[in-house]
Structure 1
Amino acid sequence: MDKQEKAIQYMNVKKYEEAAKLLQEQIEEQPLNPIGYINLGNLLIMLKDYERAEVFLNRAVELDVESATAYYSLGNLYYETAQFNQAQTYYEKAIQLGLEEADVYFMLGMTFKQQALEKLAAPYLLRATELKPGDVEMLFQYGLTIAKLHMINEAKAVFITVLEREKNHSDAHYNLGVIAMYQDDLKQAQEHFKAALEIQPEHVLAANGKKKVEQLLS
C-alpha cells in the first residue's frame, strides 16, 4: 500500500494528522505529481482550512491543467465557503474534462439551487440520480427542485420513491403533506405530517402543517 492509499484510509477513520503527514511526505517525494496536492487539499477542506486548501489545489491545477478531480475539489472548496457562482464554474470545468460521476453533477445542481436557479439545477440533479440511483439524498433534492418548478405530480412520485427506499425520511413525509394540502387532500396531508412528527418530533414545519390541517378539518 502506498502513502496515498494509507492517507486516504486514515482520512476515512478521521486520523487527520497522520493522513496529513503522509500526504506531505508524498508531495516532498513527488513534487510534480498533482494527486498528492489534491488529496491534501481535500483533507484541508474537511478541516475547514480553506485558505491552505486553495493553495494546494491551485498548485495541482498548475501541474495538470486538465485534472478534472482538481477542479472538482476546487468546486467543493468554493461551495463550502458559499461562493456558489465560482463553485459552479469549477464543477462545469470538471464535467467538461470528462468527470462523469454522480457527485459532480449533484454538486453542480446544488450550486444552481443555492442561487435559486431551479430550472438550471433540475437536469444536473436528475443526471446525478441516474448515475447513482441508490442515493436517497440526491433523489430527495431532485424532488424538492422539481416541486419548486410546480411539477407537482412528478415531485410526489419522487418523494414516494424516497420513502420506499428510506421509510423514516421525515422531510419526504412533510413534502408529501404539503403536496396533499395543495391538492386539497387534507386527510392525506394530516397523515404525512403526523408521520413526519413521529419520526422527528421537533420537525417545526410538519407541526405547523399538522396544526393548519386540523384547523381546516375542524
Structure 2
Amino acid sequence: MDKNQQAIERMKEQKYDEAASLFNEIIEENPSDPVGYINFGNLLLHVHDAERAERFFQRALELDEKAATAYYGLGSLCYEKEDYAKAQEHFQKAIDIGLDEADVYFLLGMTFIHQEHYKLALPYLMRASEVAPDDSEYMFQYGLALAQSDYTTEAKPIFQQVLAIDEQHSDAYYNLGVIALYNDDLSTAMGHFDQALTIQPEHVLAANAKKQITDAMNSDNS
C-alpha cells in the first residue's frame, strides 16, 4: 500500500491527524503533483476547514488547470456554503474536463433543485441514477425532480424503482400517493399514505394527506 492509500485509509478510520501528516509528506516529496493537494483539500473539507481546503484546491489548479477533482472539491465547498450558483459552475467544469462519477452529476443536479430550476436538474439526476443504479437517494431525487417538473407519469416508475432498492423508503410511498391523488385514485393514494405512515409514523405530509382524503370521503357521505 503506497503512502497515498495509507493516508486515505487513515481518513476512513477517522485518524485525521495521521492522514494529514501523510498527505503533508506526499506534498513535500512531490510538490508539483496536484493529487497531494487535492487529497489534503478533501481531508480539510471533511473536517470543515473550508478556508484552508479552498487554498489546497486552488493550488492544485495552479499546477494543473484540468484537475477535475479539484473543481469537484471547490464545488463541494460552495455547496456546503449554500452558494449553489457557484457550486454549479465548479461541478459543470469538473464534468466538462472529464469527471464521470455519480456524485458530481448528483450534486450538480441538486444545485439546480436548490435554485428551483427543476427541469434543468433532470439530465444530471438521471445520469447519477444511471451511474449508480442501486443508490436509492439518487433515484429518489430524480423522481422528485420529474414530479416537480409536472412529469408525474414518468416519475411513478422511478419511485417504484426506489422502493425496489429500499422497501422502507417512506417518502417514495408518499410521492406515489400524491401521484395517485393527482389521478383521482383515492383508494390507491390512501394505501400509499398508509404505507408511508407504517414505516414512519411521524410522516407529517402523509398524515395530512390521509386526513384530507378521509375528510373528503366523510363529506361526500354526509
- Please report the TM-score for the alignment, with normalisation by the length of structure 1: 0.96
Tell whether the 8 Å contact from 2:54 to 2:74 is kept in structure 1 after alignment.
yes
* C-alpha distance in 2 between matches for 1:215 and 1:16: 55
Instruction: Note the C-alpha offset of 1:122.
Output: 0.4
RMSD between aligned residues: 1.2
Alpha-carbon distance in structure 2 between the residues aligned to 1:85 and 1:22: 34
Deviating more after overlay: 140-149 vs 120-129: 120-129
1:36 equivalent in alignment to 2:46: no
**Superposed counterparts of 1:177-188, under 5 Å:** 177-188=177-188
Instruction: Name 2:115's counterpart in structure 1.
Output: 115
**Partner amino acid for 1:119?**
K
The aligned counterpart of 1:79 is 79
For 2:198 and 2:165, how far apart are their aligned partners in 1?
Answer: 18
**Hey, what does 2:98 align to over in structure 1?**
98
Letter in 2 for 1:92: Q
> 1 CA distance for matches of 2:205 and 2:195?
13
Cα offset, 1:13, TM superposition: 2.3
Q: Offset at 1:143?
A: 0.3
Contact 1:186 1:217 in 2 (8 A): no
Match of 1:25 in 2: 25
CA distance in 1, matches of 2:83, 2:168: 33
Q: Tell me how far 1:56 sits from its aligned partner.
A: 0.7
Q: Distance in 2 between matches of 1:16 and 1:195?
A: 42
Is contact 2:105–2:125 with CA below 8 Å preserved after alignment? yes
Deviations 1:134-161 (A, max 9, x none): 2211111000001011101111111011
Provide Cα deviations, 1:168-203, integer angstroms capped at 9, x if missing partner: 001101111111111111111111111111111221
Amino acid at match of 2:132: K
Secondary structure of 2:134's aligned partner: coil
Write the letter of the residue equivalent to 1:163: L
Amino acid at match of 1:23: F
Q: Distance in 2 between matches of 1:205 and 1:11?
A: 39
The aligned residue for residue 217 of structure 1 is 217
Offset of residue 217 of structure 1 = 2.2
Cα distance in structure 1, aligned partners of 2:32 and 2:155: 48
Matched AA of 1:107: L
What residue ranges of structure 2 are gaps of 5+ in the alignment? none
Per-residue displacement from partner, 1:69-126 (whole Å, max 9, x unpaired)? 1111111111111111111111111111111222211111111111111111101111
Q: Which whole-Å CA distance do the structure 2 matches of 1:165 and 1:32 have between them? A: 44
Q: With structure 2 as the length reference, what TM-score do the two structures score?
A: 0.94
* Bigger mean CA offset, 104-113 vs 143-152: 104-113
Contact 1:68 1:94 (8 Å CA) reproduced:
yes
What is the 5 A alignment of 1:88-167? 88-167=88-167
Count of aligned pairs between the two proteins:
218
- One-letter identity of the residue aligned with 2:130: E
Q: Indicate the residue corresponding to 2:5 in structure 1.
A: 5
Report the residue type matching 2:37 in the other structure: Y
SS of residue paired to 1:167: coil
Q: In the alignment, what sits opposite 2:55?
A: 55
Task: Give CA deviations for 1:4-33 in whole Å, capped at 9, x if unaligned.
Answer: 101111112222222122112211222211
Poorly superposed stretches of 4+, deviation over 3 Å: none
Matched residue type, 2:78: Y
C-alpha distance in structure 2 between counterparts of 1:175 and 1:210, whole Å: 13
Q: What is the letter of the counterpart of residue 180 of structure 1?
A: A
